[in-house]
Amino acid sequence: MGLAKNIPKDLAELFQVMVTEFPAILRGNLVGIYVWGSLTYNAFDKTCSDVDVVAVTARDLDEREFSELDVWFKKKDENPWVKRIDMRCVIDGEFLDKTSRCCGFYHYTGKLVRHGSDGNPIIWINIAQSGVTLWGRDAKLIAPHVSGSVPQRRSHVGIELPQGRPALPIAASDLKRRLSITPTRCSLPVASFTQPIGGRWFPKMKPVGGQWARYHPYGAR
């Protein structure tokens, strides 16, 4: 499956610039650039959807690569889609390893940050099924096999806790009392797991009461 048919022209142009310039910034280190999320499930809504991207590298970014990539995002902020990007850089072969080092540009931070891996399998299920390869090794070849069943119940959501503790199912009614919920649209049929950003854990894209929502704990934005 390719990108959504309704992808805006300036977003397509941003992808083309990434494909042209990222290999130069990450020369010898970049394995591939992949799109996942609503853009690959024909559920993209230009009014509210995020742009989910994964860059796979052979090793962790060194200081030069990190600095140049951070500058790249700052220079491209005239493109409105930079403010919608959630892009993480992960190391090839360590996608599900929570001890792996990662970094990413997330629209709610507005900058490139280093952090540990959350070992999120949902990304790779998506990429294996319908991920789009912008550059590099084919998406279906890069995605690891993820075994086990994924819960589909819409009345509960699973939150993965820090320090590798098991997922905790929370009823939607209880979730609303404990979290500040900001509705938005999401394409994935299952919940994404949390990711540590600046010491906080941000659950992403989970079904709440039959509706999709993006929510941040305790009013964090």
Tens digits of residue pLDDT in 173-183: 333 333 333 33
Q: Residue 197 belongs to what H/E stretch? A: strand 195-197
The C-alpha atoms of residue 216 and residue 221 are separated, in whole angstroms, by 6
Tokens representing 147 are: 């075994």
| Size of the chain, expressed as the number of residues it contains | 221
The C-alpha atoms of residue 176 and residue 157 are separated, in whole angstroms, by 11
Q: What is the pLDDT of residues 40-69, one digit of tens each?
A: 988 899 999 999 999 999 999 999 999 999
pLDDT greater than 50 at residue 185: no
Sign of CA dihedral 9, 13, 14, 19: positive
Average pLDDT on 148-156 reads 40
Q: How many CA atoms lie within 13 A of 104 on its CB side?
A: 26
* Domains along the sequence of the chain with CATH: 9-142 (3.30.460.10), 156-217 (no CATH)
Indicate whether this model's pTM tops 0.75: no
Unique residue bearing structure tokens 């309704």: 6
Beta strands in 14-162 (DSSP E): 30-36, 51-57, 85-91, 101-106, 111-116, 132-136, 156-159
> Considering only CA atoms, which of 87, 119, 92 is closest in space to residue 103?
87
Average pLDDT on 77-102 reads 95
The C-alpha atoms of residue 86 and residue 144 are separated, in whole angstroms, by 21
Mean pLDDT taken over the chain = 75
> Considering only CA atoms, which of 60, 37, 57, 31 is closest in space to residue 135?
31
Q: Where are the alpha helices (DSSP H) in the chain?
A: 9-25, 63-75, 121-130, 139-142, 172-178
* Percentage with pLDDT > 70 across the chain: 65
